Amino acid sequence: MRKTAWCSVVAVAALAATLTACGGEAPANKDAAAASGGDGDIKVGILHSLSGTMAISEVTVRDAELLAIEEINAAGGVLGKKLVPVVEDGASDWPTFAEKATKLIRQDKVATTFGGWTSASRKAMLPVFERSKALLWYPVQYEGLESSPYIFYTGATTNQQIIPGLDYLKEQGKKKIFLVGSDYVFPRTANKIIKAYAAANDMEILGEEYTPLGHTEYSTLTNKVLQAKPDAVFNTLNGDSNVAFFKQLNSAGVTAEKMPVLSVSVAEEEVKGIGVDNIAGHPVAWNYYQTTENAANEKFVAAFKAKYGADKVTSDPMEAGYNAVYLWAEAVKKAGSVEVEAVRKAAGGIALDRPEGLVTIDGESQHMYKTARIGVIQPDGLIKEVWNSGEPIKPDPYLKGYPWASGLATG
Amino acid sequence: MEAFLNQLPIGLSIGAVLLLIALGLTFTFGQMGVINMAHGEFIMAGAYTAYLLQDLTGRMAVIVALPVAFLVAGLMGLILERAAIRHFYGRPLDTLLLTWGVSLVLQQLARDLFGAPNVQVQAPTWLQGGIASLPYNRLFIFGLAVATVIGIWAYMNRTGAGRRMQAVMQNRQLAAVSGINTARVDQRTFFIGSGLAGVAGVALTLIGPVGPALGTYYIVDAFLVVVAGGLGQLRGAVIAAAGLGLLNSYAEFWSDASLAKVIVFAAIIAFLQFRPQGLFVLRSRALT
């Protein structure tokens, strides 16, 4: 009995492995064309973590993307066809992202996919999309040093967020920095860049600490930070860890005046869970805040609250996800088809007035021109902009324009 | 040196958190042998109880919630035991799958009821600040853990119900033929064990995130404490929690958080090689 059970487990596992292997190999560009044919609908994939440690952040991006699809449909759809979202759960588990991406491309035959948050999930999906020659729109700021022909990056790359953040700390006279991050590819690569920047800009890195995703015990780390006595902390923690980190930092008596903690993954949505008491006054670096002033943002905030509730907030990754749908739709209109290569070709140079301001697709890197904004968290939980770059910054994922970063792209 | 000394109370306070989350398990897993994967979700239920009470009681929610969360999580446990687990006694692997499924259902339920993003439970103002490297909220958790241990000890050794529970644990058949209603004892044990998870959940709102995934962050640690301490052994759990807390804090101090986890896991694996039954063993003449 026991033996048979084990045998069937092994057999199922082997079968699953074979299926995934076959699933990935075959070219799927025909499927993209199939998505536009027939019944007058265009299927698009939405792939975020709706469960697990990243759900706190990714669910809101899904909501924003669904809102964009709804708005586009209400305005007549794309090429006269309605967009039909196919929503999948990546479950905060990177292999699951690859598996669900394969499912969306091969089984649902979606025209494009909007999805991912952590870089680990993007790195897991990248080979799937490249092999199948399918499109992914990735809506979150990330560590750069990547430019896949089948991914459009609608969040910031490092020179639109992390480097402006460091410039801001430097302007504030913060010379001794402590680095705290989650233990995966984004924080580690971001910190490599930060260290190179520090070396070239006469800043000192006093310590560099990583904790596993989902880590909730920060008393030891707080002790280490307090012993090092930095001027500021650069925080690349992701997900629920931020809540534990800021709660425990605050109860250890760290205030924003004494030691500001600059975060690049804490937006309006996360502030609510952390508790404003614990984080008010600390700076963050993004490209968009709910308080960003322009007509497109007023409309976005109002529409989002109308659909999901007046107590909801909007944040940078949500806005980037919302933009991604519009930018893709614009590229499809320009190309006259949802065929991947045509859309890619048409996308370059598309410029739209978005809630964050003017966003232009850089055809070469498939990243966006974005305005960098530094904000400070207010007692009401919203973020007030205190600095911006004045104009959209050209995306430079490999930091070719920064001499101090010359060793990074290869390393 | 100062930082080194600071790690000592930090280690003990980590131990107190571990102990709080594991105490309930020493009942359900330790005494009854039920591998309850939904224990983490009872912790979550306790945390959300504090969140809901906030509307009524404001910043005192954490205090008021302690007994309420005990009842809420305890009742959830009781329902789980009555509706499902009692049909699976003596089948640990099936129970594991069953309770794991229940834990997923409860997580999704929390997500639907409260939304995926974390919520905030405001700590009482008098818990802000601290002495040296030890915040008051950590001291509060430490005190709560101590009080809970004393309470459990008194219950198990000074009340009839507690002694009946021990009797059932030591020899179920003999207890049954002596006239103890073992099914009722099981219900009560499960109620208390789950209720303690609720209490732990309230305490965790002071230091960690309050979200649907809350339970998943603590469930593994809770099992480690119970396994290392010896099944059903209160003092084993206390010593194992303190030891793991200190090991964790110093390992992280000398290396980093990821490596500290590896060190703790490796230490437990090595320890169980020599003492597979944990720190303390229940001596029993039962034929099991």
**pLDDT digit string (tens) for A33-85?**
444 445 679 999 999 998 877 777 788 999 999 999 999 999 999 999 999 99
Give CA angle at A369 (A368, A373), nearest 5°.
110
**Do A214 and B213 make contact, defined as CB atoms within 8 angstroms?**
yes
Best mutation target, A51, A220, A222, A268, to test chain B (most B CBs within 10 A): A220
Virtual CA dihedral for A106, A109, A110, A116, nearest 10 degrees? -10
* Contacts B213 to A, Cβ<8 Å: 51-53, 55-56, 214, 240
Span A171-193, average pLDDT: 93
> Exposed, middle or buried: residue A18 (CB in 10 Å: 0-12, 13-18, 19+)?
exposed
Domain that holds residue A66: 2-157+305-369
| Residue A398 placed within a domain | yes
| Residue A343 placed within a domain | yes
End-to-end CA gap in chain B: 51
A34 to each of A144, A214, A341, how far by Cα in Å? 33, 40, 14
| Residue A16 placed within a domain | yes
- Which residue would you say has higher pLDDT here, A99 or B119? A99
**Do A217 and B14 make contact, defined as CB atoms within 8 angstroms?**
yes
Domains by residue range for chain B, with CATH: 2-116+129-274 (1.10.3470)
How many angstroms separate the CA atoms of B55 and A68, rounded?
34
Beta bridge partners of A352: A359
pLDDT for the residue B284: 63
Radius of gyration in angstroms for the set of CA atoms belonging to chain B, rounded to a whole number: 19
| Residue A299 placed within a domain | no
Question: Does the pLDDT of residue A13 top 70, yes or no?
Answer: no
> Exposed, middle or buried: residue B139 (CB in 10 Å: 0-12, 13-18, 19+)?
middle
Q: Which tokens sit at A80? A: 């006269």
DSSP A155: S
| Same-domain pairing of A330 and A382 | no
Minimal-distance CA residue of chain A relative to B246: A220
Tell me the average pLDDT of chain B: 89
Question: Does the pLDDT of residue A21 top 60, yes or no?
Answer: no
| Residue A397 placed within a domain | yes
pLDDT for the residue A28: 41
| Same-domain pairing of A33 and A51 | yes
Minimal-distance CA residue of chain B relative to A255: B129
* Contacts A214 to B, Cβ<8 Å: 213, 216-217
Q: Which residues contact A287 (CB under 8 A, 6 or more apart)?
A: A141, A155, A156, A160, A161, A316, A320, A356, A370, A371, A372, A373
Q: Which tokens sit at B257? A: 């958080």
Span A171-200, average pLDDT: 93
* Facing B217 at nearest CB: one of A209, A216, A248: A216
Q: Which residues contact B16 (CB under 8 A, 6 or more apart)?
A: B138, B141, B142, B144, B145, B146, B241, B245
pLDDT for the residue B122: 86
Sheet of A41-48: strand order equals A82-89, A41-48, A113-115, A136-138, A151-153, A367-369, A357-362, A351-354
Q: Are A291 and A382 in contact (CB under 8 A)?
A: yes
* Facing A220 at nearest CB: one of B211, B217, B253: B253
| Same-domain pairing of A261 and A391 | yes
Instruction: State percent of chain A over pLDDT 90.
Output: 73
Q: What is the 3-state secondary structure (H, E, C) of chain B?
A: CHHHHHHHHHHHHHHHHHHHHHHHHHHHHHHCCCCCCCHHHHHHHHHHHHHHHHHHHHHHHHHHHHHHHHHHHHHHHHHHHHHCHHHHCCCHHHHHHHHHHHHHHHHHHHHHHHCCCCECCCCCHHHCCEECCEEHHHHHHHHHHHHHHHHHHHHHHHCHHHHHHHHHHHCHHHHHHCCCCHHHHHHHHHHHHHHHHHHHHHHHCCCCCECCCHHHHHHHHHHHHHHHHCCCCHHHHHHHHHHHHHHHHHHHHHCCHHHHHHHHHHHHHHHHHHCCCCCCCCCCCCCC
**Do A224 and B128 make contact, defined as CB atoms within 8 angstroms?**
no
| Same-domain pairing of A125 and A183 | no
How many angstroms separate the CA atoms of A274 and B121, rounded?
9
Please report how the helices B214-229 and B234-254 are oriented relative to each other, as an axis angle in degrees rounded to 10.
120
Q: Are A215 and A241 in contact (CB under 8 A)?
A: yes
| Same-domain pairing of A72 and A34 | yes
Q: Which residues contact B130 (CB under 8 A, 6 or more apart)?
A: A251, A252, A253, B136, B137, B138, B139
| Residue A264 placed within a domain | yes
Of B206, B41, B24, B56, the C-alpha closest to B111 is B41
| Same-domain pairing of A359 and A376 | no
| Same-domain pairing of A188 and A331 | no
A52: contact with B, CB 8 A cutoff = yes
- Which residue would you say has higher pLDDT here, A64 or A7? A64
Dihedral sign (CA A132, A137, A143, A144): positive
| Same-domain pairing of A271 and A376 | yes
Radius of gyration in angstroms for the set of CA atoms belonging to chain A, rounded to a whole number: 21
| Residue A294 placed within a domain | no
How many angstroms separate the CA atoms of A115 and A45, rounded?
8
Q: Which tokens sit at B140? A: 């509060």
| Same-domain pairing of A236 and A253 | yes
Best mutation target, B62, B121, B252, to test chain A (most A CBs within 10 A): B252
pLDDT for the residue A30: 42
> Exposed, middle or buried: residue A220 (CB in 10 Å: 0-12, 13-18, 19+)?
buried
Question: Does the pLDDT of residue B271 top 50, yes or no?
Answer: yes
**Do B207 and A252 make contact, defined as CB atoms within 8 angstroms?**
no
Question: Does the pLDDT of residue B6 top 50, yes or no?
Answer: yes
What's the whole-model pTM score?
0.83
> Exposed, middle or buried: residue A167 (CB in 10 Å: 0-12, 13-18, 19+)?
middle
DSSP A395: P
| Same-domain pairing of A219 and A123 | no
A220: contact with B, CB 8 A cutoff = yes
Span B91-99, average pLDDT: 90
**Do B116 and A56 make contact, defined as CB atoms within 8 angstroms?**
yes
* Residue showing tokens 């303690």: B196
pLDDT for the residue B233: 80
The Cα of B131 is separated from the nearest Cα of chain A by a number of Å equal to 9
* Contacts A241 to B, Cβ<8 Å: 209
How many angstroms separate the CA atoms of A245 and A241, rounded?
6
| Same-domain pairing of A319 and A250 | no
* Contacts B121 to A, Cβ<8 Å: 275
* Facing B211 at nearest CB: one of A50, A240, A275: A240
| Residue A298 placed within a domain | no
How many angstroms separate the CA atoms of A250 and B194, rounded?
31
Size of interface A-B (CB pairs under 8 A): 143
Best mutation target, A6, A184, A208, A223, to test chain B (most B CBs within 10 A): A223
**Do A219 and B107 make contact, defined as CB atoms within 8 angstroms?**
no
What's the pLDDT band for B90 if we cut at 50, 70, 90?
Answer: confident
The Cα of A253 is separated from the nearest Cα of chain B by a number of Å equal to 6
Here the CATH number for the domain that contains residue A181 is 3.40.50.2300
* Contacts A250 to B, Cβ<8 Å: 128
| Same-domain pairing of A48 and A143 | yes
Amino acid at site A374: I
Best mutation target, B128, B140, B217, to test chain A (most A CBs within 10 A): B217
Measured in degrees and rounded to the nearest 5, phi and psi for residue A257 equal -70, -45
- Which residue would you say has higher pLDDT here, B61 or B74? B74
Q: What is the pLDDT of residues A219-277, one digit of tens each?
A: 899 989 998 999 999 999 988 899 999 999 998 888 899 899 999 989 998 898 898 98
B223 to each of A196, B121, B140, how far by Cα in Å? 43, 26, 23
B147 to each of A92, B62, B121, B153, B207, how far by Cα in Å? 37, 16, 22, 10, 19
Amino acid at site A56: I
Report helix, strand or coil for A208: strand
Q: Which range, of A84-88, A338-342, B27-31, B34-38, averages the lowest pLDDT?
A: B27-31
Q: How many domains does chain A have?
A: 2
